[in-house]
Amino acid sequence: MPESSDHAANSGQQVIALVDDDRNILTTVSIALQAEGFTTRLYSDGEAALKALLENPPDLAVFDIKMPRMDGMELLRRLRQNSALPVIFLTSKDDEQDEEAGLAQGADDYIAKPFSLRLLLARIRAILRRSDARAGVINGPETLVNDPPQEDVTRGRLTMDPARHHVSWDGKPVSLTVTEFLILEALAVRPGVIKSRNQLMDAAYPDDIFVDDRTVDSHIKRMRRKFRAVDKTFNAIETLYGAGYSFTDG
């Protein structure tokens, strides 16, 4: 039986599905989302969640990866056969294999446990805005104070569309998470300017959310790997040891 609960009926509210076998996480996250005006549906079983997500799709889903019976990776794999529903993964801290596998399967972003509820809310809003922009929706959910500019950013071979979070290099699409996009945007808007890890964290994470500064290094590493998948010679993101990173469009 699905451990599912719809906590609001207002048609104007956006619906977030939470799939996790930890009831404490389900309850805590659900309360936080409802306080922000979202409707929540809760599932502690991947198999039941898959059926419900396909039959009555929410606006976005948050999956834990490690669950019994059907884990989050398998749930996403099956979901992607029939649905482009936005998905955020909850992963174990520093489990890079899970993160990369989830993104390869089509997850939109990931957050490592233990996580900040403010960070999760910020990521949900950012992904919903991106989905709304793709669908041509004008009035999305509540926006963040530091929303990026909506004009396209073009720097040499790089093109970024902040409204849709689209990125291309030499005309070839590069799929970035929301966090990666915000870090790259902070670098690309001022080519050649060195940005410290703290400055990049400020660009990618809401105020008062603590993340280890090495988190930025991990995101840069993954971004480089993604760009090199379409251009083996990609070297536009430079490391300035002891100082930070910069973007060169030369």
Cβ–Cβ < 8 Å for 8, 33: no
Give the model's pLDDT for residue 93. Answer: 55
42 vs 108: CA distance, rounded Å: 20
Spacing of C-alpha 151 from chain mean position = 21
Give the model's pLDDT for residue 134. Answer: 53
Tell the CATH superfamily of the 15-135 domain: Response regulator (3.40.50.2300)
Give the model's pLDDT for residue 222. Answer: 85
pLDDT in tens, the chain (250 residues): 344 445 444 457 899 999 998 899 999 999 999 999 999 999 988 888 999 999 999 999 999 888 878 888 889 989 988 888 899 988 875 556 666 666 666 788 888 888 888 888 988 988 887 776 555 543 444 443 344 446 788 999 999 988 777 899 999 999 888 888 889 999 999 999 999 988 888 887 765 555 666 778 888 988 999 999 999 999 999 999 889 999 997 6
What is the per-residue pLDDT across 108-165, written as a single tens digit (0 to 9) for each?
888 888 888 888 898 898 888 777 655 554 344 444 334 444 678 899 999 998 877 7
Domain assignments of the chain as residue spans, ordered by start = 15-135, 153-247
Cβ contacts of 27 within 8 Å, gap of 6 or more: none
Asked if domains 15-135 and 153-247 share a fold, the reply is: no
User: 153-247 adopts what CATH topology?
Assistant: Arc Repressor Mutant, subunit A (1.10.10)
